[in-house]
Amino acid sequence: MKKVLILFLIFLCGQFVAGIIAGSMGWLENARYMGYTILAVDLLIIALLWRLRLAGEKESYPKGTGWLTGKTLLAGAGILALAFGVNIMLEPLNLSDLGLEATFEAMRSDVLCILMLCVVGPWLEELIFRDGILRHLAQNGIKPVWAVVVSALLFGLVHGDPAQMVPASLLGLVLGLLYVHTGDLSLCLPAHIINNSVAIGLMYIPGSDEWTKDLSVPEHIALGLPLLLVGALLIYIIIARKKKSL
């Protein structure tokens, strides 16, 4: 359990340190430089996790073409359907994102910021919450299903703002199930990268977040619930087969 606490504190400290560095340099209002700071800190934490053997060891990654399988595309499609479904259903609540969407909008014009948002950020989060916290919980006698739930709730918690906490918790739950199924990052990491990349990609399409604004609450549910169910079905198709032990 000590490793679980250490991993969680490393993640929180990394975010805190990135904020301190950016604040001391006067970059808090400059999204691009803030992105550079987070990218550098994330990469240092990834190296630290590997060096301390807390996550990201050789067996965490599939060999050869293990990343490119039919299951990878299915997992990505399932994650996207779930993400779109839950976000559409939550939209009428008008939950605050504490200005994060505006920050992401400002970052999307910079290649290094996109790398941080779409690849390095998901990589670090999968190492911390799936290959780290979830795996260590399971190895310490916690049933895998509860290890998935705990890691998912922590994943949602660290996202901080009301608009992201519920979708992030659901995303963490599904990514955790994918991790338990494979015993490595072969599905959960590509699915996470696909989810973030599509979210950032949609920011380049004018009005992509406006078309559901005028829908009624029943219409939001009627549109979002089928997507949620389709996503759940796709993930179930993947995990229904025999899983590997952690």
pLDDT less than 70: residues of the chain: 242-245
Residue 242 is predicted with a pLDDT of: 66
Backbone torsion region of residue 61, taken as left when φ is above 0, otherwise alpha when ψ lies between -120 and 50, otherwise beta: beta
Q: What is the DSSP string of 230-243?
A: HHHHHHHHHHTSPP
Q: What is the DSSP string of 172-231?
A: HHHHHHHHHHHSSSTTHHHHHHHHHHHHHHHTTSTTTTTTTTT--HHHHHHHHHHHHHHH
Structure tokens at 91: 């939209």
* 182 in Cβ contact with 198 (< 8 Å): no
Structure tokens at 130: 């799936």
Distance between CA atoms of 103 and 105, rounded to whole angstroms? 5
Query: Does pTM surpass 0.85?
Result: yes
Measured CA distances, 187 to 42, 127, 130, 192 (Å): 21, 13, 11, 9
Residue 243 is predicted with a pLDDT of: 63
- Residue 221's contacts (CB-CB under 8 Å, 6 or more residues apart) are 89
Half-sphere exposure of 182 (CA within 13 A, CB side): 27
Residue 244 is predicted with a pLDDT of: 64
